[in-house]
Structure 1
């Protein structure tokens, strides 16, 4: 199937992709820690995950998602391969922590998705993570 260059979420260079972001009243350091520790880590990766998130670290979740960290700039950006169980190819996930005055923006950018359906599913997935971070802030 071919797609018009204006098809939302489809690019010629990265295939299907999506991005979501939200700004929180957190320091960049607190945002980074929130993303990579429980309970938020359990929402986006696995409740049993204990991974250092260093380059070349690999982890497979109970649901069969395998991640491999490809690059890390601590408290700024992490890139990883994200492979769903049963998928022949991995997609690329980038998580960024962006200072925004006295707040911090957390951004998820996911590219090389298999199609429009996976794009929508991952958009919902990462939005749910941002919602959970927001809920955690309200409860603290």
Structure 2
């Protein structure tokens, strides 16, 4: 009997998902992940891409292709870091919970192994920490 490894799927390698709810409207949450600064915060510096399906991008942290764009709701794209053998799939969701409460979710699949899964878990948690810090800074400056 084989033991299931945390984060391993039957068909998509390893996966990780992290999410947090913030005291901001959906539009602000979307801006924090989909604006030029927002994209740099989680995909790496130097990224310049139009958010349209089929658009390719390159940043200091890797390269990929935009697959799905649903403004204010969802981004789906491939992302391959330089050391990786194959691209992963990243899905970002922005889910309105109330007028001023929104969840930002990062889900990544097709990761090669548990070590890469753990690395990406730390990456996504750090991204959400930076988003929280930005929101707190903006709120204290109002």
TM-score, normalised with respect to structure 1: 0.89
1:70 Cα deviation (Å)? 0.9
1:50 Cα deviation (Å)? 2.8
User: Quick one: which of 16, 19, 28 aligns to 2:17?
Assistant: 19
Instruction: Evaluate the alpha carbon distance shift between residue 3 and residue 90 of structure 1 in structure 2; reply closer, same or farther with a 3 A threshold.
Output: farther
Q: Distance in 2 between matches of 1:55 and 1:125?
A: 24
**Contact 1:38 1:47 survives alignment (8 Å):** no
Residue in structure 2 matched with residue 129 of structure 1 by the alignment: 127
Alignment of 1:46-57 (within 5 A): 46-57=44-55
- How many pairs align? 137
User: Quick one: which of 63, 68, 81 aligns to 2:65?
Assistant: 68
- What stretches of structure 2 of length at least 5 have no aligned partner? none
1:53 Cα deviation (Å)? 1.4
**Contact 1:77 1:97 survives alignment (8 Å):** yes
Q: Distance in 2 between matches of 1:129 and 1:58?
A: 22
- What stretches of structure 1 of length at least 5 have no aligned partner? none
* Alignment of 1:88 onto 2:107: no
SS for the counterpart of 2:103 is strand
**Contact 1:40 1:129 survives alignment (8 Å):** no
Task: Note the aligned Cα RMSD (angstroms).
Answer: 1.7
